[in-house]
């Protein structure tokens, strides 16, 4: 009896041992035979990248970007998410120039918060700009303006967008990675990705002119053309009752163009002070919402 058990156990151990040996030698053989060389630097660089796989660089994710870096197709600075230190670290590791890519951020072409933009109805439905926009263009009188129900803040993976007290999204340019998620979700197409050196900015999309525009929103562009006259020729033009800056002539831009704007729709974006309106822009002291 005891002998039988001992035999069973030994035979099992023997069998499994031989099987294991056989299979592991197959694996060892396959490992040698099928081994593909992969640049070890790819793993190394991937670990230095932020691993967000946001796609803002134009590649499918962080690993494809790392591969493109090794092959020299892209410069390290094209990763908009990494900090300056991380980029220089990668550049040092690869022994290449970090590249001088101007940082790009998402910008909102609307300044019509609740204290300046008139509402024409009360919206009482799904808390989403997309849903409100299909109900006859949203509750604001200005049907081009920001609805303020925070679809962009919801969709932002980097926590870069926060709604301010007037219901307008504020972009934190430190956190913004220019991934374009907010550009896609906004039903009014108010967001666009802009290099930070484009400082002259029209924060309005209203296509009406004169009092019609100003009655709807106190900071609307009323197509008065003062900015056109005050700036170098061709820099700003009025298209469909809206001032449009031609950024191919960006080097000519200066804060002078904003100075006589009566509503403050055109602003100069300063790194420290934020959006600066011209001195002739009407002052908005109201904090509470405009009456309907």
Partner 1 sequence: MGLLNLLFGLKSFTHGIHPPYHKDTADKPIRRLAFPSQLVLPLDQHIGKPAIPLVKKGQEVVRGEPIAKADGNFSVPLHAPATGRVRDLELMPTPKGPKSTAIVLDVYEGSTQEVLWNQPREMSELSREEILQAIQDSGMVGLGGAAFPSHMKLTIPPDKQVDTLIVNGCECEPYLTCDHRIMLEYPKALIRGIRYAMQASATTQAIIGIEDNKMDAAEVLRNNVSKGSAIRVEVVETKYPQGSEKMLIKSLLNREVPTGGLPADVGVVVNNVGTLAFLGQLLPLGQGLIERVITVAGPGIVKPGNYLVPLGTPVRHILEQAGYEGSRTEFILGGPMMGPAVSAMDTPITKGTSGLLVLNEPSIEDESQRIWPCIRCARCVKACPMHLNPSMLGLLAAKRKYDEMAQDYHLNDCFECGCCSYVCPSNIPLVQYFRISKAINREQAA
Binding residues vs partner 1 (CB under 8 A) = 120-126, 128, 130-131, 133-139, 141, 143-144, 155, 184-185, 187, 207-208
Return the number of other C-beta atoms located less than 10 Å from residue 56's C-beta: 21
224 annotated among ligand-binding-site residues: no
Tell me the sheet residues that pair with 194: 105
| Nearest residue (CB) to partner 1, 122 versus 283 | 122
Contact 48, 93 (CB under 8 A): yes
Q: What is the DSSP string of the chain?
A: -HHHHHHHHHHHHHHHHHHHHHHHHHHHHHHHHT-----HHHHHHHHHS------TTSSSSHHHHHHHHHTTSS-GGG-SSS-HHHHHHHHHHHTS----PPPEEEEES----TTTBPBSS---S-S-HHHHHTTTT-SBSSTTS---S-HHHHH-TTS-EEE-TTS-EEE-TTT-----HHHHH-TT--EEEEETT--EEE-------HHHHHHHBTT------HHHHHS-TTTEEEETTEEEE-GGGGGG--THHHHT-SS--EEEEETTTEEE--TTSPP----SPPP-
Q: Which is nearer to partner 1, 33 or 122 (CB)?
A: 122
**Whole-number minimum distance, CB 60 to partner 1, in Å?**
16
Q: Please check if 54 is assigned to a binding site.
A: yes
Spacing of C-alpha 7 from chain mean position? 70
Whether 142 has a binding-site annotation, put simply, is yes
Cβ distance to partner 1 smaller for residue 151 or 230: 151
Distance in Å, CB of 253 to partner 1, minimum: 29
Is 227 within any annotated ligand binding site? no
* Shortest distance (Å) from residue 50 CB to partner 1: 22
Answer yes or no: is 176 a known binding residue. Answer: yes
Q: Would you say 221 is a known binding-site residue?
A: no
Q: How far is the CB of 139 from partner 1 (least distance, A)?
A: 6
If the CB atoms of residues 55 and 195 are measured against partner 1, the closer one turns out to be 55
Q: Judged by CB, which is closer to partner 1: 132, or 203?
A: 132
Closer CB to partner 1, residue 145 or residue 278? 145
Q: Is 146 annotated as a binding residue?
A: yes
Q: CB 198 → partner 1: shortest distance, Å? A: 25
Nearer to partner 1, 184 or 233 (CB): 184
| 79 belongs to an annotated ligand binding site | yes
How far is 147 from 167, CA to CA, in rounded Å?
Answer: 8
Minimum CB separation of residue 150 from partner 1 in Å reads 14
Q: How far is the CB of 241 from partner 1 (least distance, A)?
A: 9
**Residue set of the binding site for [4Fe-4S] cluster:** 54, 57, 62, 79, 142, 146, 152, 156, 176, 179, 182, 186
Residue ranges at the known binding site: 54, 57, 62, 79, 142, 146, 152, 156, 176, 179, 182, 186
């Amino acid at each position: 009896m005891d002998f039988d058990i001992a035999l069973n156990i030994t035979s099992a151990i023997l069998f499994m041992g031989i099987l294991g040996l056989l299979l592991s030698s197959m694996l060892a053989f396959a490992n040698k035979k099928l081994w593909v060389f992969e640049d070890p630097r790819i793993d190394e660089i991937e670990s230095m990248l932020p691993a967000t796989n946001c796609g803002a660089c134009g590649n499918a994710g962080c690993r494809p970007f790392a591969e493109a870096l090794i092959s020299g197709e892209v410069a390290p600075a094209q990763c908009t998410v990494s900090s300056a230190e991380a980029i220089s670290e990668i550049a040092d590791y690869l022994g290449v120039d970090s590249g001088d890519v101007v940082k790009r951020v998402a910008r909102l072409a609307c300044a019509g918060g609740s204290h300046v933009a008139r509402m024409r109805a009360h919206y009482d439905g799904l808390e989403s700009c997309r849903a409100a926009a299909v109900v006859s263009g949203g509750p604001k009188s200005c049907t081009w303006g920001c609805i303020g129900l925070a679809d962009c803040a919801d969709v932002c993976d980097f926590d870069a967008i926060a709604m301010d007290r007037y219901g307008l999204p504020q972009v934190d340019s430190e956190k913004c990675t220019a991934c374009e998620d907010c550009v896609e979700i906004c039903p009014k197409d108010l967001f666009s990705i802009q290099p930070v050196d484009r400082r002259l900015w029209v924060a309005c999309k209203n296509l009406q002119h004169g009092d019609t525009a100003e009655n709807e929103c106190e900071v609307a562009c009323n197509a008065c053309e003062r900015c056109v006259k005050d700036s170098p020729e061709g820099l700003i033009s009025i298209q469909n009752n809206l001032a449009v800056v031609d950024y191919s002539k960006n080097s000519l831009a200066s804060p002078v163009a904003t100075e006589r704007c009566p509503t403050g729709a055109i602003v100069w974006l300063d790194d420290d002070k934020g959006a600066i309106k011209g001195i002739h822009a009407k002052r908005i002291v109201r904090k509470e919402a405009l009456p309907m």
